[in-house]
Every structure is written in C-alpha cells, then in structure tokens.
Structure 1
Amino acid sequence: MSAVEDAPLESNVDGVSLAALAAQMGYGDESVAQLGVLWGKSAGRAGGTLNLLLSHMLDTAAVAEQIWHGMLAEKLKVLLNGLGGGDGLRFFTWLCGVHDCGKATPAHQALDEVSAAPVLAAGLRWPYGQKLRDWRHTKAGGKILRDILKDRWAKEQIDWVWPIVAGHHGTFPPVGALNSPESRKDHHGRGAEWRAVQAAVVEVFTRAVGYPSLDAAQPSRAPSRSEQLALSGLVIMADWVASNESYFTGIADLNRVSVAGARERAHSAWVDLGLCGGWGRLPVPGADDVVRERFGDIARPFQRLVLDAARRMAGPGLVIVEAPMGEGKTKAALAAAEVLAARFGADGVFLGMPTQATCDPMYSLMHAWASGFGGGLERQVALLHGKSRFNPEWRKALRRSDADSAAAGASGFSCDDFNYGDDMYGGPGGSCDKPEREAPAEWFLGPKRGLLVPFVVGTVDQLLHAATRTKHVMVRFAGLAGKVVIVDEVHAADVYMEQFLTEALRWLGRARVPVILLSATLAPGQRRALTWAYLCGALGLREFSGDALPEPGGYPSVTAVTASEDAGARFLVEHAQPWRPSLAVRVEVLEDASAEPSQVPGVVREKVGSGGVALVIMNSVKRAQYVYQELMAQFGEDAVLLHGRLCAADRADRTGECVRRLSPGGERPRRMVIVATQVAEQSFDIDADVLITDIAPIDLLLQRIGRIHRHAGIARMTGMETPSVVVTGFEVRAGGPRFDGACEAVYGSYRLLRTAAKVLEARDGEGWQVPADVPQLVADVYGEEWPVGEESWHPAHDASKSAWLTDQGRRAGSAEKFLLGNRNDDGAPTLAGLHRHETSGAVDDEELSAVVRDGDPTVEAILVRRSDRGYCTLHGARIGINGEASENLLDEVLGGTTRLPAKLTTAAKEQLRPLNGWLGHEWLKRWPALVLEEDGTAQLGEYTVGYDRELGLTVERDGGPGQRQSRVG
C-alpha cells in the first residue's frame, strides 16, 4: 500500500467520499478495499450497523468543529491558533479525530468475530485465532503516531501529541508501555501490510480534514502540561459525543463516508443534545459600577477595590479577597469574574463552596446573575453536589427540562436547511428549532462531565477532583480551563484538603486560568501557600523562591498576583475601609469541659429568659441534643435544633424558618433559641443577639461571631444592644486548658490552646473589635510566636504543637499519593506516564469526595417506615407495597434522606439496599433505604438506630449506655 504525497487533490473535499479521496491520493483498489473494512465500532455499538474506523474518526472531527463554534472559550481558541499556525480549528479537529487510529491493529480488529471476517478477507491477517493479547487501541494509537511521525515531525511535538491519543480512555501510559515485546504481533501482525494500512488511515484522515500532508499538521510549538491536560479532556468529550449510536449510526461502506456527511451528523447531534457554551466573546464592562448593574446595589468601597484590581492585572492570575462576613465578597467576585473573563477570554465561571448547604443559596445568586446577561444564560447554570436534587429551584429547572425533552420527542426539531459554507471550517451553519431547556443539557449532567457546563456552583470537591490522579481527570480539568474559578470560604480547607487545593492552583496557574479566592479569616501562612502554589504553576516551578509576598496593610484587602516566564511575578496588594464600623464584642468564658455541657442551658436562660435571640453552637450532635432537651421545658416552640443528622426535609424546613424570621425584614420573634452544630457556622444568614459556643480555632470562632448583630437596623431587647459571645467547652488550669473530648477530637488541642489564650485575653480586657481585630487575631493563633504570656502553659503548648506537626505531616503525606502531579514528575513537559503511579480507584463523585476529604467515609440513606401494607415515608405518607412512590410523593420520600454517622458505614454498606420499587426510578435507584420497623427503630450492626422528630437521628449501641453520637454534626 502506497500513496503519492503530491498527488493532485480537489481543493474542496467535503462531499468527496473517503474511498474516492484515497484513490485520488494514489492508493490502489486493494488498499482502498482494506481501508473500507477496518471497523471502529461494531454493529452492536453503532445502532445495528458496523461503523468504519474512518467514519468514526471523521464523526469525532466534526463534533470537534461543533465544540469550537458552540462552546469553546476564546482563550482556548487562542491557544489552539498558536499551536496550529493560525488555523487552530483545523488542528483541533485533527487532534480529536486521530484519537482512534490505534484501532487499525490486529488486536482491535480481532475483538468482534463478525466484524473481523471482512478484515481477514481483505488480506489483513493476524497469526493466531480471533483472540489476541490485551493490546489496547489507546496505547496502539500512541505507538502508531510515534512510528509514523518519527521522521516527519520534530520530537518535541510528537512527544506531547501521542500521550493525548494514548490517554483518551482516561489514563496516560508511560512511553515504555508502547514497546512491550509481547504486543508486537498484536500491533503489526506478521506482515508489512498492517504498517501500511496504519499509515494510510492517518494520512487519508489528515487529508480529509484539509491538510495537504501529514507534515503540514505538525503543531508550531508544545503547549504547557496543563494545557495538554485540557486539550486531552476536549478530545475525550468529542469522542464521547461521536460515540452516541443514536446520532452516529454505523456506516459500513467507505463510499458513503464523507466530511459533509460527518458534519451533518455532528450538527444534528449537537442541536438535539442541546449542547452550548457560555458568554462567547464578552465585552469588557465599562467604567460604570458593575456591581450596581448586575445586582442593583451601589458598590461598596471594598467591592470597587476588587473590580479595580481585576482591571489592572497584567494578565490572568490569582486574586485573594479577604473581607468581613457580610461585606459582599461573592457579589464582588462575580463582578470581577466578568471583567477577567472579558479581558482574558474565559467563557464561564465555577464557584466552589465548602459544603452542600452553602452551595444552594449561591446557586440562586448565580442563576439570577446569569439571567442579567440575556440570551438565556441562566439556563446554563448547574448545581453540582450530592444533594443537588433536593434543591427546589434546581429540581424545578430539571423537571421543566425533562418535560421539554419529552415534548420534543426523538425527532422534535427540523434540520432541513444546513448551510455550512464552502468548506469544513466555514462556520457553524444553520440553527435547529428545539424547545429551550430550563437546565443545562442532560448530556453535561452525566458522570464526570458537570464541570463542562458554562456556569457551575458546586462544592469545592468538584475543583479538588480535578487535582487528583484519577481516571478521566482531564475531562474535569477541561471544564475548568476555559472558566474563571472562584473558591469561597477558602480558609475552611484543612491540611489534607489543602494539598489538593494547592495542586489545583499549580495546574490552573500553568494553564493561565484566572482564580479568585474568598475568605473572611485567612491566616498569613495559608495566604502565602496558596499564592506560591499558583505562581509555581504559572512559572513552571515546583518551589517559588522569588520576592516575599507583601502583607495587606489593612482589612478588607485584595492580593492580586500575575506571573509570566518573561516578566516574573507581579503583586498588587491593597486594602479599603469596611462598609460599616467595627462592633465591640464582649467576650465571656463559661468553664465547662464536661461531656454533657450541663452549665450551658443555665447561661442561655440567663441571657434570653426575658427575651432576645440566642444562637448556641456545639461541636457535636450529642452535645447539641443534650442542650436542646434541657431547654425544651422552658422555651418550648421558641427552641430550634439544627444539625447534620436531621433528615433533609426537617433540616431544610428548620433552616428556612430561622432565616425567614431572623433576616432583615423578617418577622423577628420576641424570643428564640437556635441550638446547632457547625452547620450554622457558614452561609447561615441570621442575626442573633448573643452567641454561646464551644471553643473552636479562632477563624471558625470568628465565623460564628459573624452570626450575631449581623445586620443594621434591628430592634433589639434592652440589654442586647452590645454583641456578646460566651465561649465554653474548656476549663482553665495552671498547666494549660482542658478541653471537652468532642471539641478536642474535632480540632485537636494545639489550635484550641492558642485560641483559648486569646479568648482569655479578651475576657480580661476589652473584648474584640470585629472586624478590625480579625486579621491580627488569626495571625496570632496561626503564627509561630506564642500569642500571650501564659508561661505555665508553655509545656502543654509545646507538646501539643509537636503532636500537631506530626499529625499535619502524616495527613499531608497521605494526600500526596493521590495528587494529580507527582514529585517524580517535576519538570515533565508532557503527560506521558501521568497515571503510572498509584491511582485512586474512585469511580464516582461520592467515592472521589472521600479521596479529597480526610474523614471517615459516611453513607446517606433514605429513611422509611414499615407499615402493615408495605412502606410509608419517614413522616407517615403511605407509599407502595414495594416502596413505589408517585410523583406527588417523591419530594416527601427524598425528604427522608439522612447522613449516617461514620461508625455505621460498614454495616450500612453491607445491609442497606434500595427498595424493590425504587430500582427502576431515575432518582431513587441508587439510594439505600433504612427501614424503621413498627417500633420506630432499625438494627445496623451492633447499633439500634431511630429517628426522633425533634432530635433527629438517634444511635444506641446494643447494651451500651445510651446514645453515642458521632462527634461532628
């Protein structure tokens, strides 16, 4: 098999069949016949008809064109244009389409006996039977490109392209894996005909997408490793779409395979799937108040500072925003994201929050914000976390979209008037009529694809997943590469999670992705670590040894950094006046380190017995339940309990009621007591008069203080005019404080001891000025120097510090094996071998979240009750004998979802399964059911589990001394 490289070729090959094209290139009848039998997808995976290899490759290239025109961020187009010598679209289609060239091997062609018969008949044989060794077509594709391009491309370009082909099933092999002796027969058979046909597949495909020769497809430079990762994810996306047999039914005749046909198939699929991007080319906002334009509020001085920094940055970089609670950080970040996106070609935004509960209000905010741009962008906002379907606004959007899809039917659009222009790259062509979805395309909401949605609100885990060495991590990273990335409450990351956060910042920095980090209480050391991580990525370094990071001179503040290998690092560090004056917070101490905080109820009665609003935050469910039960006798319905072991419906109802009554304009009660765990620490927009709280590290303690006197203009009871906080959970001793066991188990003694020193200092002094004192308080507790002069505590402090450092090192080390990069890969220019080290076996987001969070794994189950005629919901509504739930009862069934304590995980995984009536239901089939018997309890391992409408989940060890709750609520 041979071709004439300079054979005359029609300038427009769109309508030319690939059989005719191959003949024009000089391939003889036998060679064309061999190209016409190589299969890419068997009939069983291509709608009943075998799909030829070259057909699937062209389909994928055509989908790549749709990605380019329909959703690719401008900054990625600029990247590809730089790689493709000004023709980035052509190079992108080539890179996506060539991915499956490794299927032109005996190992793949022998996999399906029916599909293999014509291949053998065409003279392409293999030496032994139909079953060959496990020589995957991914690695084979990498080897084919290396062999074919060896004398035609520069080594630097070959070295980064072949891993993208070899990694398109989700993992990147090392180069050594392409040269195993036992795979040679599986790759080339016994004759030269396989080498010839492999070269022909690549060369004919290359000519089909418009290159005059394979030499002309050579990229002009090598992109960074992060950019390669993003391109790899886009290749996989194109392959996944082009593998949908509903739209790409097989074509078994090479005379029917053409560029024009592939483009028509790709366009139809793209329109019917509803795939689309975000802003596109966004104009830079004018000098007017962007905050006011988008949110209707006049920008505060601090928000104007953030916007000014975004306008002044020399290039894409990192912006760290530090401001008090309630200052408007999120709105400032979204406004700044618009500026950064317009300046640097981003197409959307990812907003990461610390918890599922904090995501929901941000989804509403982003949805409303996106609607202000017009064009239906609000329909391209996704909520990504494990309980997103419980969010009423998100579920409403999904249901409307499902109804639209049903109304459209399998062929609910018209595609009669295609007009693609004169060549494959002339533009996206005509539009198709299709009902508008209220949510992003269903395709985007499949596994691992969520970050490809233009606008995403999700837990920070979604970002951290993109920094793990896991299968298909490149798809997640591709979703971030064209966005502005915002992470809120960034201080909430512990040392384990921080390893993944800094790894993500390295890769994002190298890909020149703008990142905005938000925090009310960021420690100086953490600020430096996050900044250095991004700079190391931007500069291609593992460690940064440049200028010291300037410290903010005030609070609130903005730290903006940019870097390039030519100009080095540039810093912009400025501060502004807060929008309201600091409050003097009175600090009191209640010395009580008992397992049951028996003194707390008395203090609550003293504080609000005659009226007022108290917030009580305990560090464990057990302590919160105890306090609540003690207060019930006096306060009755004025007391509310909130923790993470309430079912979803009860927790949502109680949280909503608290926010409704205690937010500005709400029906503020004369008296109210909220007893909660850490669920009240963040994004809980209430205004209380007084706080009684277990001790916590200073940054978290200040977050809790942010729930009192939060809003101006609130009419308060006499004696409540000054905010006050009572700190408990510890006792003062000469040799150092003693902490409640639950508090110490959650946070460790080192940070608690240093916080206790500052609490006692404030108690004996004039309290705290909040927010003015926040930066110094955090710096003192998280710094190296001893914060106050309690000499008798020094031995306890030094011992706790030593234990803390050991534990921090252990936890950081345990994260390292799962990080996307590896210290052995420092300086590696390509993705080859990225997955040769230990790789997490996580297969879904739930398991992956356990990888990025250093905690005991837990299980969520839906609680139902057994009845005499089958089952009923947790709160009594009857469902089917096998658990079948009608649509009008679905919300109530899902409302019984409850997270079980970690100590029940093993038993829950062994014992719990979905009810039989749930197995065919889209939303219920993956949820295990915890069935409470008629006495209201269930047996899980050695524990008896129940659910109390007031207290929530109760857990008792059989034969044990009462409830033994997990330590974190």
Structure 2
Amino acid sequence: MGFPDWPGKSADAPGLPEHLAVHHMLDVAAVAERLIEPFGFGRPLQEALVLLVGLHDLGKISESFRRMLRKGVPQSFRHWELTEALLFELDTVVAAHLGGDCWHRQTLYAAVAGHHGRPPKRNMGGLAYSGRRTRDYRLALEAVGAGMEDAREAVEAFCGLWPNASLDGLSDERTVALSWWLPGFCTVADWIGSNTDLFRPPTSCPGLPDYRARAREAARTAVAGAGLASGRARDTRLFDFAPRPMQASCAEVPLTDGPMLAIIEDETGAGKTEAALILAQRMLLAGKGRGLFVALPTMATADAMFRRAAGTVGKLFDRQTTLTLAHGRAGLSVEFRDLVTGGPCGEDEATCSSWLAESRRRALLADVGVGTIDQALLSVLPVKFQALRHFGLSSKILIVDEVHELGEPYIGAELEALLRMHRAAGGSAILLTATLPMAQRARLLAIYEGYSDSPAYPALTVAGAAPVTDLPQATGARGAVHVQRLTGTDEAADLLENSAQTGAACVWVRNAVDDAIAAITMLRERGIAAHLLHARFALSDRKRIEAEVMARVGKQCQGREGFVLIGTQVLESSLDLDFDVMVSDLAPMAALIQRAGRLWRHMDRRPAASRPVPAPVLHVLSPDPAQVVDARWLHGTLDRGAWVYPVADQWRTADVLFRVGRIESPSGLRALIEAVHGNDARPIPEALVEAEVTAEGQGSAARGHAAQNIVDLAAGYRAGGQANDDARYPTRLGEAQRVLVLARHEAGGLRPWADGEGPEAWALSEVSARLKRLDALPLPDQSAPEIAAVTCDWPDWKRAEYRLCPVAEDGTICAGLRYEGSLGLTFGDKS
C-alpha cells in the first residue's frame, strides 16, 4: 500500500510528519457523516454522498500535487481538477459499488471536485466518451503519473468503508438538485476537517478503518466547536404576550405536505415578524427545516432584526442556538461582536462560534442567520462559493421581510430564482409584506404551485391551501391617516416650523439626499434645530445620528417635544420611529404607506389625547395630478427627488391618494396598492405615456439582465456554476458607487474620521456616493505621501476602487466636495 507516499497537507514544522491525503480524506468524510445525519436522506444515498465527499481530494494522490507541496513546482492541473479526472478513470470501480446511471455519477463527481468554490471546467469529455479521451483528460492522467494505482486502491478501500452506499433510484431531477447542494456540503466538511488542532497526522500509519475511528471522534468535537452540532426543534412558547390576530392565525393554520411557502400580508406594526417566528417554529417541528435565515432589504434593517431576534431564537432548539449576522458590515455591530466574544450563555440564549463569525459565507450555516437579502441572492448568481451559500440556505426556513421592496424587475427575478432553487432543495419559505401587489404575490405563489386571487387584507396565504382571509380589518387606535397635498417646500417648512413650536415630533421624508440637505439648510436658516439622516454619512456619524433619533422618537423615547428630523428612504423600514407630524415627498403608494407607518405609531404608549396635534395627517409634497402639461410634471415641485421613481407610478399614487384623501389601515390598503400596480390601474395622462413606455422597457431589460446572470438550475453545477467575482454579478442594479474613506489631518499623518484606530475605525469612516459624480471631481491624489502611507497595506482591489480622502478643518475634501458631521457628504454643484 503506497498511501504514505502521497501527502495531503504539509507538515506543521520541519521534522514533523505530513498529513497523508487518504487521512485528510477520511477526516472530511467523518465530518460529513456528522453533518449529513439530520438531512433525512435514506441510508444508501446518505452513505453514497459521504463516500463521494471522502473522495473529494483524490487528486492529491498524484505526482503533480506532491511536487507542488514538497518542491513548490506549479501545477498545470489543480488537485480538484485531477479528482474529477481520476473519478472518471476509476468509474468502473465506483460504479460496481454505487451503481446508478453513469450520467448521475458524472454529475456528482463534478460536484465534489468543485469544493473550492468553483466547478471543474476542463474538457474531460464525459463518461459516455471515456473510450475517446480528450486532450485535457490525457494530460490530467499524465499529471497523476505514478499515483494511479494508489488512487485506485484508495477508491476500492473507501468503497469498502461504506458498504451500503448506493445511487440506485436517483432521478435526473434529484441528481441535478444534488449537484448544486453537494459542493457546498463538501466545502463545509472540508473546512472543518482541515482543523489542524483536532485532525493531526498520526505518528505511525494506521490502517484506514482504524484511522477512521479516530477521525470520527475528532469530527464530533470539531463540528460542535464550529457551532454546527445539530439540535432538534423545541415545542415551547416563544412570546409571553397575548397574540395579535395574524400571530394567532400563524399558530393555527394547517401546514401543507413537503416544501411550503407562506405569505403574510399585514399593516406596518402588526407584529409580522413575531407571526413569522411562530409559524417557522411549527414548520421546524414538522421537519420542514433545521434552522432559519431572516433576510432583510438593508444592513440597517438587518441590524435591527438581529437585536430583536437575539432575545427569542435561543428558545427554538433543544441545545444552545447559534445566531449570526450576515452582511458586509456585520463586524461593526457591537451586539454581534458581544455575542461572539461574550462567553457561555444561558440555555435559552443564542451564541455564535468564532468559526461561524469569520465570514459572511459561513454565517449562512448557523442555526439562525439574520442578514441582508443580498447574502441569499448570491446563492443564485454565478459567483465563487455560490453553492456553499445554497447549501447553507437549503436546510433553513427562509424568511424574507419587506418583500414588497423586492418588486423592482432585476431583484424581483432574483428572488423568484432563489425560491425556485430553495424549493428544489426541499426548502420552505415565509414572506412578509405590508404592501405587496397581487400580481407579484401570484408569481411568488406559483413557484410553490399555489394560487390566490383573494383581495382580502390582511391575509395569510399558504401555497396549495385556502388563504386565511377572515382576519380583523378594524382600524386601530390611530384611526385613518388623512392625506393633504402641499404645493411647495416653503409650505412644508412652514408646517414643520409651526408644528414643532406646538411640541410635535416632526419628520420630512425626502426622495433624494441632495433634497434632504436643501431642506435641512432651509430649516436651520429659520432657526429650527433640525436633525438630518441619509445614506451619505460616514458610518460612524450615521450610527451616532440613528442612536440619537431612536432616543428621541423611538418606541421608548424621551425629549420628543419639538424634535424635527429630515431624512430619506432609510426611514421607511429600518427604524421603529413614531412621529406626530409627517411631510413626505410624493413617492409610489407602497413607499408612502410605509412612511405613514411611522406616524402615530405607538398608540399604547402615546394615545391620541397626549398628542399635540388632533389627528394623524400625511402631508404630501406634490404637484396637482389634474394639471399635467408635460413629462416634467414632477420637476417643478421636487428637485432631484423627481428622478427617483417611475413617473407613472408617482402620478397614479397622487391621483388616487388625493381623491380618496385617507389611508385606512388595514382595510383600505389593498385598494390603494392595486390602484397603482394592479391590472385595473387608471390610464395615465398622454404627456406621461412615453415615460411609462420607457420605464417598462427598462424593466424588461432588467429582467432580461437578471435572466442572463442567474445560474441555470437545470444545467447542473458543472455547466451552470462559475467562480466570478461578486462585483461582476451584482445582487441589485443601480448606478455604480465609489467608496470614500475619510481621514483627519493630525501631527504625524492621517487618522480615521471615526474615533479610534485600526481597521474598525477606518471602516467606520467610509461613505459612498455615485461613482460618476465623484470621479468628475478632482479627488485627492492617491499617490500623495500621507495617503500612500495609509493605503500601502490595502489589497490591490481596494486601492483600485476606494479613495482615501483627507477632510480639511472647514470640511473641504476637494473643489466641489465637502464633508461635515451634521450634513454628510455634500456636492458644491448640481451635476
């Protein structure tokens, strides 16, 4: 037996033994045995998948890999590419043990070979053509060289370790689904099985059965230490309050067989999140998943959801629940860092292993993940480790919040692809929305073979079952929100000034950052100490402002009297705020309903009698929809905000809202949404038709763009998967952004704009704006010595895409660009 001739990993130090390839392969197989148990595969298929995972590094039994490891000789074929070639060459050995169709085996060979985040793409010809070897096939076998017979012996020995393994009975459809699932599963097993502290090379060379027994013991510890030891769902009460109607319905609605989709439609503030968790717990108990992933539209909403979930999800399982935060700024969340470093927790409290916290990709593997929808959408785009994300989600009940915000054509197509792929893997989902158009609901239900044309609202719809439509429609203590039109910014400013003087907490939601800055400037010139919140603040300033806003006008607040806030769309869903008086720029109906949800919100804490104004009124800054002269109908009233949304949606919103004059929640919401987005929406004025046609064309192009970007599920992992950079396949369309890293001048060099030192302070000093707008300005020379001294340690991609920008004491960055902690990033022109 020549196994000692083939190292799998270098020695930890000179004089120590190398870790043999076959031993590492058994380490990974042992981890796979632990990880796969809860997935419910039949025993023959389960053993077959473990066996294939064990063979993932068969290509390390090759002269090519050995030369690379010991002498640093570059490889013409990577070891995982050689794995596929060897499995093709030794297919008769595998087939004699596993059986099954040759195309099924070939498909799964590519899946385990592709465990480094990308599928193999060398032209191996396929098993059906093994008699006519391709050039790549021949060259790959030459790279294996003298390892061929030992590779054959390894395959035979591994087959003997899993005697019940079989692929018999697999369908083509199931094989394709497994081809997307298996690479991610193999990646996770490989990462855990590469823990050199637990899987150490033996001093002697034991037989494979003896080594496997040792590896199984190490795997038990390794899987638990990574935070992936599987627990069972626990039947316990999650909340100690009396359930609201939707929550009660979620506790009682019958569950359908197999993968399940539920859509929860209810007004803002109705407790949809808690309703979803109640339903998800029942689905966990019914075996429809082994965890949850809660997807939110933005990092701010994800951070807020993480704080809410942390106190509840620990009750879901019969062992300590692992909880992660998954987005690009998760490491800056104090709550998440505390969870990782906080040490032992109580039985009903969530925790997070350092292994899970190391990357956003691993975050999807925890029992419960909270993150942006982008982290889930990357599982359907041809990017590196796409299959790992798919595997992480496959065992989860996917909860998508604010799903109405995903109706834009590109991201909407991605969401539909995500649900199709999730269902193909046996996954279930719950979608939450306040303002979902019925046409979009129908498309989502159809993915799970469901249908509903019921206009009832609120509604709980389970695909394949009758919708729950008998939920109470009585308007709450707030009453109806009246709608009044404002004709100009001066009228809006007068209203806010007068209302603040009466002690009202006031807000003006603007569509564009520049318009928000103009409004705050106008109010401050009037002597109003208004606050400003938008997306063009450095992260440190944004967090500071958000904390102050929450303290003044949040659910539990103090000092709200006379508080005035100017903000943008970040106020629609990311923060739980409560205002007495609201002004909003005209926006599509769904956005206005969301904004109005922050008006007279917490009536139990601040009843009508305690409010300084007699009734909730949404004041909308808008031109008259009855007076449309040309396509620039909006531009006389709104400035940059006139370009943010499709003008046809804007006009229809204004037309119906000012005619109806009120937003009645929940009973009137469906009619308002359908009046803008439904099949019976009113025709728009002739002057706006061209703009609507253009917008429809752009929407069709965006859906076409998405169709080109989304992986071809039917093609399987080898043909459909890729390993592209995330930036090439965005989860959202939009104008390219440039990230500026702000710095202060200080004796001895530059320091971060944010307080503190080190990587975290620099990350908190970042702010983004449109790339075209920034690159038209004379930004600071990045080769300047003081800038280069900071950026010299940045990776190449960051130096290419980011710009380090010192900020002068007066706020100047360069001609036409300034930054101030109270205004954010401002441009000195109208470009």
Cα RMSD between the aligned structures?
3.6
Q: What secondary structure sits across from 1:574 in the alignment?
A: coil
The equivalent of 1:704 in structure 2 is: 595
Superimposed CA distance per residue, residues 415-457 of structure 1 (whole angstroms, 9 cap, x where no aligned partner):
xxxxxxxxxxxxxxxxxxxxx9953332553352221111111
1:168 to 111, 115, 118: 115
Work out whether residues 353 and 458 of structure 1, in 8 Å CA contact, stay in contact via their aligned partners in 2: yes
* Residue 831 of structure 1 pairs with residue 717 of structure 2: yes
Deviating more after overlay: 490-499 vs 902-911: 902-911
Work out whether residues 232 and 475 of structure 1, in 8 Å CA contact, stay in contact via their aligned partners in 2: yes
* Residue 628 of structure 1 pairs with residue 520 of structure 2: yes
* Residue 576 of structure 1 pairs with residue 471 of structure 2: yes
Work out whether residues 321 and 516 of structure 1, in 8 Å CA contact, stay in contact via their aligned partners in 2: yes
The equivalent of 2:731 in structure 1 is: 852
The equivalent of 1:394 in structure 2 is: 336
The equivalent of 2:89 in structure 1 is: 144
* Residue 647 of structure 1 pairs with residue 542 of structure 2: no
1:738 to 604, 622, 634: 634
For 1:863 and 1:915, the matched residues in 2 are separated by: 14
Compared CA separation, residues 40 and 390, structure 1 to 2 (3 A): closer
For 2:144 and 2:654, the matched residues in 1 are separated by: 78
For 2:736 and 2:274, the matched residues in 1 are separated by: 34
CA drift at 1:710: 1.1
Q: What secondary structure sits across from 2:452 in the alignment?
A: coil
CA drift at 1:785: 2.7
For 2:688 and 2:501, the matched residues in 1 are separated by: 38
Deviating more after overlay: 189-198 vs 608-617: 189-198
Q: What secondary structure sits across from 2:717 in the alignment?
A: coil
CA drift at 1:757: 1.5
* Residue 91 of structure 1 pairs with residue 48 of structure 2: yes
CA drift at 1:625: 0.9
For 2:787 and 2:281, the matched residues in 1 are separated by: 44
CA drift at 1:665: 4.6
The equivalent of 1:11 in structure 2 is: none
Q: What secondary structure sits across from 1:66 in the alignment?
A: helix
Match runs of 1:322-721 below 5 Å: 322-373=265-316, 377-378=320-321, 380-400=322-342, 438-443=351-356, 445-446=358-359, 448-493=361-406, 494-535=408-449, 549-562=451-464, 570-578=465-473, 580-581=475-476, 583-592=479-488, 597-637=489-529, 639-713=530-604, 714=606, 720-721=613-614
Deviating more after overlay: 644-653 vs 808-817: 644-653
* Residue 804 of structure 1 pairs with residue 728 of structure 2: no
Q: Across the two proteins, how many residue pairs are aligned to each other?
A: 800
Superimposed CA distance per residue, residues 69-104 of structure 1 (whole angstroms, 9 cap, x where no aligned partner):
xxx6x3x1x1253x53xxx3x334312101122334
For 1:770 and 1:355, the matched residues in 2 are separated by: 25
For 2:791 and 2:326, the matched residues in 1 are separated by: 23
5+ residue gaps, structure 1, are: 1-31, 117-129, 405-435, 536-546, 563-569, 965-969
2:189 to 222, 238, 243: 238
Compared CA separation, residues 453 and 134, structure 1 to 2 (3 A): closer
Compared CA separation, residues 866 and 139, structure 1 to 2 (3 A): same
2:745 to 844, 863, 866: 866
For 2:472 and 2:163, the matched residues in 1 are separated by: 59
The equivalent of 2:100 in structure 1 is: 154
For 1:701 and 1:576, the matched residues in 2 are separated by: 24
For 1:389 and 1:107, the matched residues in 2 are separated by: 40
For 2:118 and 2:512, the matched residues in 1 are separated by: 41
Letter matched to residue 41 of structure 2? L
For 1:616 and 1:519, the matched residues in 2 are separated by: 24
1:182 to 119, 127, 135: 135
CA drift at 1:176: 4.8
CA drift at 1:705: 0.8
CA drift at 1:859: 4.1
The equivalent of 1:54 in structure 2 is: 22
CA drift at 1:939: 4.7
For 1:168 and 1:801, the matched residues in 2 are separated by: 46
1:930 to 780, 804, 817: 804
1:722 to 611, 615, 627: 615
The equivalent of 1:897 in structure 2 is: 766
CA drift at 1:469: 1.6
For 1:598 and 1:551, the matched residues in 2 are separated by: 44
Compared CA separation, residues 111 and 719, structure 1 to 2 (3 A): closer
Q: What secondary structure sits across from 2:469 in the alignment?
A: strand
Work out whether residues 674 and 681 of structure 2, in 8 Å CA contact, stay in contact via their aligned partners in 1: no
CA drift at 1:298: 0.6
Deviating more after overlay: 680-689 vs 135-144: 135-144
Work out whether residues 34 and 219 of structure 2, in 8 Å CA contact, stay in contact via their aligned partners in 1: no
Superimposed CA distance per residue, residues 871-896 of structure 1 (whole angstroms, 9 cap, x where no aligned partner):
44536x6x7xxxx55xxxx8766543
Superimposed CA distance per residue, residues 235-261 of structure 1 (whole angstroms, 9 cap, x where no aligned partner):
1111222234444445696x3353443
For 1:775 and 1:727, the matched residues in 2 are separated by: 20
Letter matched to residue 770 of structure 1? S
Work out whether residues 860 and 900 of structure 1, in 8 Å CA contact, stay in contact via their aligned partners in 2: yes
CA drift at 1:164: 1.7
What percentage of residue pairs aligned between the two structures are identical? Answer: 23
* Residue 841 of structure 1 pairs with residue 724 of structure 2: yes
Letter matched to residue 390 of structure 2? F
Letter matched to residue 244 of structure 2? R
CA drift at 1:798: 3.0
Letter matched to residue 711 of structure 2? L
2:666 to 771, 787, 790: 771
For 1:610 and 1:745, the matched residues in 2 are separated by: 34
CA drift at 1:151: 6.2
For 1:734 and 1:946, the matched residues in 2 are separated by: 37
Compared CA separation, residues 105 and 871, structure 1 to 2 (3 A): closer
For 2:142 and 2:551, the matched residues in 1 are separated by: 72
For 1:400 and 1:928, the matched residues in 2 are separated by: 33
Letter matched to residue 357 of structure 1? A
Superimposed CA distance per residue, residues 892-928 of structure 1 (whole angstroms, 9 cap, x where no aligned partner):
6654333344336668899499885798899xx9996
The equivalent of 1:211 in structure 2 is: 163
5+ residue gaps, structure 2, are: 127-132
Work out whether residues 279 and 348 of structure 1, in 8 Å CA contact, stay in contact via their aligned partners in 2: no
* Residue 102 of structure 1 pairs with residue 59 of structure 2: yes
TM-score normalised by L of structure 1: 0.75
Structure index of larger Rg: 1
For 1:488 and 1:385, the matched residues in 2 are separated by: 15
Q: What secondary structure sits across from 1:583 in the alignment?
A: coil
The equivalent of 1:756 in structure 2 is: 654
Letter matched to residue 211 of structure 1? P
